Amino acid sequence: MILSKILRKEASFSPRVTMSPSEKMKLFLAVFSGKIIGMGMVIAAMIMLPGLIGLSANAAEVYTAHETAIINSLNTAWVLVAAALVFGMQAGFVMLEAGFARKRETVNVLIECILDTAICGVFFWAIGYAFMFSSGNGFIGYHWFFLQGMPATYGTTGVAILAHWIFQFAFADTASTITSGAMIGRTSFKGDILYSICVTGFIYPVIGHWAWGPDGFLALMGTPGHFLPTLGQCFRDFAGSTVVHTIGGVISLAGAIVLGPRIGRVFLRDDKDKGGLPAPHSLPLAALGAFLLWFGWYGFNPGSTLSAMDYDGIGRVAANTTIAACTGTFGAMILAYFFGLTKGKFDTSFSVNGLLGGLVAITCPCYWVSPLGSAIIGLIAGCVVFGGIYLLEYLRVDDPVGAFSVHGLNGIWGTLSLGLFASGQYGATGAMGADNTAPVTGLFYGGGLSVLEAQAIGSAIVTIVTFAVAMVVMLIVSKLPYPWKLRIEPHGETCEGGIDVFEHGSKAYY
């Protein structure tokens, strides 16, 4: 109280500053001039800075040869890093498939994955890359065999063409490895050699050319003079929900159908008490494999920009990939908890396949959707995994790892989801950065049905043709004399040590 009185008393004696009219005018002019100068500096900065730091959306940017070389080097380095991540997914596939298999099938899984990679490398070098990525016609490329006669960089990407080959080899290897997942435990090793050659040398690259080739008929669909010109939309598959996962998943389904189930396999439709997939021999191995696959997907999806300059696109794709994997886990886990065989329990196998289903589904639309859209896409993908696994169980198709449900069905769902959830903000990636002048807009964002229609047409064509060709290949191989036929002898499955000892003379565990 005393202090407040003292302060009020001192304030009452504070001297008032008085100014003459001329001094007031000088102060006014000084303040007004400062504001005008400040506004001028702000306006000048707004005009000049975008040009200096390259943020202008409309101005055409011109780069010197030295700057272009630096940008090309950065893009090439980014693609090589992404290729290493995608190739590292092979370790994840080995662990996932071996973990879900029975103990007596483990060695067979290991050597098949190694063999598929070796076959893919040779045939993608000799003919696969030429069929898929060289110019030709709407159905197949016919240049660059054995990587001869190629330009220094791939198209307009600025990426060294051999770096692009390594990146795409890792993708082809993924499709090949997916194929073996539904055929575990009863495929002869030499039969595996034959169908792997067909997949990596012909089926994957030729059909892949349709969507990803420089003149593929699905890539150019909707443009004047090409397939369905009045549609006005091309088929889009940013990182391979259709090209990699649907193709791999559908081939695996064809193989599982032709092979038939493993000896002794009991389905739920036959016995509700004893039916269902045999228990995985190592869930820790399968879960670790799933996490390695998730890690590799950060090369699979963000790397498909082929551009280190599209920093915004890379970040968005990585975030969408993460969110879809998380919600995919929830989708499969929740359905398994309420409706699965382990009702009232949280099932690890479904959770693992749910996160993979989310990753597969977001692979196509990851560049064009928002985080909210990716969350919904992933959640539905987890539900698709659950439904697909029980659908095959009802149809008596033996798919030990859920390859068709995870990759085939969610490859289709992810491709269609672009036509629903494309947010209308993003256009195309490019060597120098993003080009959003022609954004892709899905049905739920006011874009109508055109994008969805294009996606449905492309997905249907790839799915149907792949399944038909794969069935022919599998049936032909299944009719060959042993040991080249598709399925091993019954004794090879039932003998002590199973297919591991019969085909490879060793066990995984002693």
List pLDDT tens digits, range 345-358.
999 999 999 999 99
pLDDT score of 482 = 83
Residue holding tokens 């435990």?
A: 185
pLDDT at 277: 87
pLDDT of residue 63: 81
Rounded average pLDDT over 95-106: 96
Per-residue pLDDT tens over the stretch 363-386: 999 999 999 999 999 999 999 999
Write down the pLDDT at residue 1.
Answer: 46
User: If you average pLDDT over residues 284-305, what whole number do you get?
Assistant: 98
pLDDT at 485 over 90: yes
Please say whether the beta carbons of 419 and 250 come within 8 A. no
Q: Could you tell me which residues come within 8 angstroms of residue 473 by beta carbon, excluding any fewer than 6 positions away?
A: 195, 198, 203, 254
Side-chain half-sphere exposure of 452, counting CA atoms within 13 A:
14
Whether residue 83 contacts residue 304, with contact meaning beta carbons closer than 8 Å, is answered with: no
Which of 229, 136, 123, 135 lies closest to 168 in space, CA to CA? 123
- Give pLDDT, residue 510: 87
pLDDT in tens, 237-278: 999 999 999 999 999 999 999 999 999 999 998 888 888 888
pLDDT in tens, 449-463: 999 999 999 999 999
* Radius of gyration of the CA atoms of the chain, in A: 29
pTM above 0.75, yes or no: yes
* Domain 79-504 CATH (choose: 3.10.129.10, 3.40.720.10, 1.10.3430.10, 2.60.40.10): 1.10.3430.10
pLDDT at 135: 96
Residue 339, pLDDT > 90, answer yes
Phi and psi of 4, rounded to 5°? Answer: -65, -35
Tokens of 338: 């309420």
Q: Give the CA count within 13 Å in the CB-facing half-sphere of 159.
A: 29
User: What are the φ/ψ torsions at residue 398 (nearest 5 degrees)?
Assistant: -90, 105
Asked, as a colleague might, if the bond just before 284 is cis with ω within 30 of 0, I would say no
- Tokens 């169980």 correspond to 393
Does residue 303 register a pLDDT over 50?
yes
pLDDT tens, residue by residue, 391-418:
999 999 999 999 999 999 999 999 999 9
Average pLDDT, the chain: 90
Confidence of residue 33 (pLDDT cuts 50, 70, 90): low
pLDDT at 330: 98
Which pLDDT score is estimated for 48? 47
285 φ/ψ angles, rounded to the nearest 5 degrees: -65, -40
**pLDDT above 90: residue 436:** yes
Q: For residue 271, what pLDDT is reported?
A: 85
Alpha helices (H) in 218-310, listed in sequence order = 247-259, 283-300
d(CA 377, CA 213): 27
d(CA 282, CA 460): 36
pLDDT the model gives residue 273: 80
Task: Identify how many contiguous H helices and E strands the chain contains and give both numbers.
Answer: 18, 0
Residue 483 pLDDT: 84
Instruction: Tell me how far CA of residue 77 lies from CA of 70, 159, 212, 312, 398, in angstroms.
Output: 11, 8, 22, 18, 42
Q: Average pLDDT of 173-197?
A: 95
Q: Measure the CA–CA gap between 429 and 158, rounded to whole angstroms.
A: 13
Q: How far apart are CA 203 and CA 196, in angstroms?
A: 10
- Output the CA angle 140-210-147, nearest 5 degrees: 45
Give the C-alpha distances (Å, rounded to integers) separating 462 from 207, 208, 244, 472: 7, 9, 11, 16
CA-to-CA distance for 23 and 302, rounded, in angstroms? 64
Dihedral angle sign, alpha carbons of residues 380, 320, 215, 82: negative
The structural domains of the chain, with segments of one domain joined by +, span 79-504
Contact 265, 275 (CB under 8 A): no
How buried is 226 (Cβ within 10 angstroms: 0-12 exposed, 13-18 middle, 19+ buried)?
middle
Asked whether residue 108 carries a pLDDT value surpassing 60, the answer given is: yes
Q: Which of 295-304, 373-382, 461-470, 486-495 has the lowest mean pLDDT?
A: 486-495
Mean pLDDT for 478-490 is: 92
pLDDT tier, 73 (very low <50, low <70, confident <90, very high otherwise): very high
Q: How far apart are the first and last CA of the chain?
A: 89
Q: For residues 501, 503, 504 and 510, what is the CA-based torsion angle, rounded to 10 degrees?
A: -20
Q: Grade residue 10 by pLDDT with cuts at 50, 70 and 90.
A: very low
Beta bridge partners of 141: 136
How high is the pLDDT of residue 274? Answer: 84
Contact 462, 207 (CB under 8 A): yes
Q: 3-state DSSP call for residue 173? A: helix
pLDDT above 90 for 106 = yes
Number of residues that make up the chain: 510
pLDDT at 334: 97
Q: How many CA atoms are closer than 13 Å to the CA of 80, on its beta-carbon side?
A: 11
More confident call, 341 vs 404? 404
